[in-house]
Chains A and B, each alone.
Chain A
Amino acid sequence: MKKRSATVAIFAAAALVLSGCSAAQSGSGDHTITFMGWGSDQEIAVFNDMIAQYETKYPGVKVDYITVPAADFQTKLQTMIASNKTPDVFYLAPENVMPFASSGIVADLSDYVKSNTEFDVNNVWAKAIDMYRYDGTTPGKGAVYGLPKDIGPFALAYNKDLFDAAGITAPTDDAPWTWSQFEDAAKKLTTGSGDTKVYGSAPYSLESAVWSNGADWLNADHTKVTVTDPKFVEALQWVANLSLVDGVVPTSEEESSLPSFQRFLNGNVGMMGVGPWNQGGFWADAKFNWDLMPWPVSPATGEKAIWYGGIGFGVANKSADKQDASNLAAFLAFNEGAQRTNMEQGQAVPNLIDMTKNEYLKSDKAPANKQEFVNIIEDWGRRATQTYTYNSEWFTLFNSNLANVWTGQQTAQDYTKSVEKDMQDLLDKGIAEQSK
């Protein structure tokens, strides 16, 4: 008798489990497509809203929205690809475009971009779409494998209240600070000690420093690692010294105790690099005035430099509902209502050029100097170097031990020397894979 009930329990449980997963496929509508991404609580709420709009516009299609923590996303996505459960639509990092395109994981959306009812490609930032182009040899050209979720210009934000209290005026875009002016301001802003210490700046963007100093991780055709270039070493050491010598940036240990992002929100950091995706959080939690300013320039070139990033929507090549999936990607990327929601929630600069100019720049929410974001997109922002290579493991390697420099355990010179060869090996491996 008891044995029988145990057997019944097994079947009941199995049925429960099986029905639990098949329900997602059948659903109440005609069919369901899955969409996987990550994001802050706000971003997830915004996407739920946008997905609801999509479902209203395309009746009969249900979207199963899966979110995983950003740190686990890449592993989870690869796991799902390996187990033939690739989501129909998923976040596609620019670094993944080349490998995913050449192994046929993401669908070629070029035809869709040419003729569709969702958007006009001329009204979209070209750089935003170019991040997902690949012609088999060169990234940034040829077929389109993803539509931009957003284009993320990384700008330098500052706490206006702290600036006013220290008697500092932020520079304007046509007259950016030099590195030494930046250091002077940061020193003036740094006050107090212990738990209430105010730091002049969050850890400085290494990309900005390196590029502005006229160096880069790789050479122009992305085949050779150039981190031992004296100009690179100089920029890296300068960034490290802001904390090691000047003490105007939290140390690496302090950063791991409480990230600068949180310190900035608490009003304890003067300047910090931010993206448009941070706006919503600041509107909600920042109890001070803040604005954007141009990145300081190195004396070597006098040129401003910073990256713009972004995440795209890729459509699975094996998707059973490619049309619906493409529609979802395009809807999330370009639909006017969806874009407006995204903008109003402080998640992004709109992908649509007219909406940016007519609505975003005219809104009265912080930052006042929104033009700075647009300048980076239109003018002097660059794609991150690692998005130009087939396999970015060389860049991961460079970063994984970089704290040796931040903590002063190694000088920039020693560190770059110690990793150069391994980086080159990994880069070569990627180049070999690409040409296979």
Chain B
Amino acid sequence: MTTIRRRQVMQRRERLWGLLFVTPIGLQVLLFCIVPVGIAIVAGFTNWNVIKGTYDFIGLDNFVEFLTDKKFWIAAGNTVYMLIPIPFYLFFGILFALGSHRGTPGSRIFRILFFLPYISSIVALVVMWRWLFNYQYGLVNQMLAGIGIQGPDWLGDPAWIKTTIVIMIVWKMIGITSIYVLAALKNIPEVYYEAARLDGASAIRMFFQITLPMLSPAIFFLTIVGIIGSLQTFVEVQLFTSDGGRNYSAATITYYIWQKAFVSNDLGLAFAAAFFFALVILGVTLIQFRLSRRWVYEGE
């Protein structure tokens, strides 16, 4: 009797403490996430403009307006373009992780070097990049000139600005990618390789039959996070260009939304576009989870 009673008291206390412990984060999600999303959904159907002071319900007008806006579709195209870095940094990240895992001399130092771009703020990187890729005096074009190539106008030419941003993102992301992959490599039980070696499997075969499948959950995770991040590219555009680049060549959807909200003061339209964009990201993520069943190794 007393033990049962004691257990009940314990259970009640556990519930209480559990709820108490998650209260802060619960509050955060409620106040800074659910409430804002609620506002965003409602406001998307109004012509909210803080300068003009309008706030009327206008139905689907906002959606029609941005879906017929040429700039929105240019931005959408650029946003998709920002997915290009993902396979590159995955490739280099895996390569580096493999080198690090096999105990190449100097790995510890290299790990710090590879991490430098990732831990530096994006603002500092953009500042650095603007100088490195300066058309006339930048290091990159001066080095290209040394081997007889006239480098392009990396930051001004609509044909190059996106490439410049892509190179920067690849460069920045290799370090963190390799850390995740390295962690996953360390989790692969050595017995698998021992068994394979007994069967006389070659190193290449072992890589494709053991290493890669065992890495697939990590690669999947990195791809999902990478896609969600890439689709939201904003800061690079905002810092590299003054108005999305010539011909809107660098502007992404997030940049478009930001411009509508804070430059044109068209909050209603910005909310509508943001809401639409959130649905797209949700859709993309769900599709990925579905596709993942085909290639991600789930373990026994």
Contacts and interface: CB of A to CB of B under 8 A. Distances in A.
Interface string B223-245: 00000000000000000001110
B42 interface: no
Given A396-B243, A401-B247, A403-B156, A103 B51 contact: yes
A257 B50 contact: no
A404 B137 contact: no
Nearest to A74: B263
Interface of B: 50-53, 70, 134-138, 153, 155-157, 242-244, 246-248, 262-265
B158 to A, nearest CB: 8
Contact of A103 (B52, B153, B243): B52
B127 to A, nearest CB: 14
Contacts of A82: 50-51, 265
Nearest to B243: A400
Interface of A: 71, 74-75, 78-79, 81-82, 99-100, 103-105, 252-254, 256-258, 393, 396, 400-401, 403-404, 407, 422, 433
B243 A257 contact: no
A253 B136 contact: yes
B135 to A, nearest CB: 4
Given A396-B243, A400-B244, A401-B246, 6 more contacts: A78-B262, A99-B51, A99-B52, A253-B153, A257-B136, A258-B136
A258 B247 CA distance: 22
A393 B243 CA distance: 12
Contact of B262 (A79, A100, A401): A79
B47 to A, nearest CB: 11
A254 B135 contact: yes
A404 B134 contact: no
Contacts of A100: 51
A274 B83 CA distance: 44
A273 B182 CA distance: 58
A78 B266 CA distance: 11
Consensus secondary structure, chain A interface: helix
Given A103-B52, A253-B156, A78 B265 contact: yes
Nearest to A250: B136
A81 B247 CA distance: 30
B136 A404 contact: no
A82 B48 CA distance: 11
Nearest to A99: B51
A81 B262 CA distance: 11
Given A82-B265, A396-B243, A256 B50 contact: no
A253 B137 CA distance: 11
B246 A400 contact: yes
Given A257-B136, A404-B246, A81 B263 contact: no
Contacts of B247: 401, 404
Contacts of B264: 393
B51 A256 contact: no
A382 B136 CA distance: 36
B135 A253 contact: yes
A194 to B, nearest CB: 9
Nearest to B50: A82
A104 B52 CA distance: 9
Contacts of B153: 252-253, 256
Nearest to A256: B156
Nearest to B249: A401
20 contacts: A71-B242, A78-B265, A81-B51, A82-B50, A82-B265, A99-B51, A99-B52, A103-B52, A103-B53, A253-B135, A253-B136, A254-B135, A256-B134, A257-B134, A393-B264, A400-B244, A403-B156, A403-B246, A404-B246, A433-B52
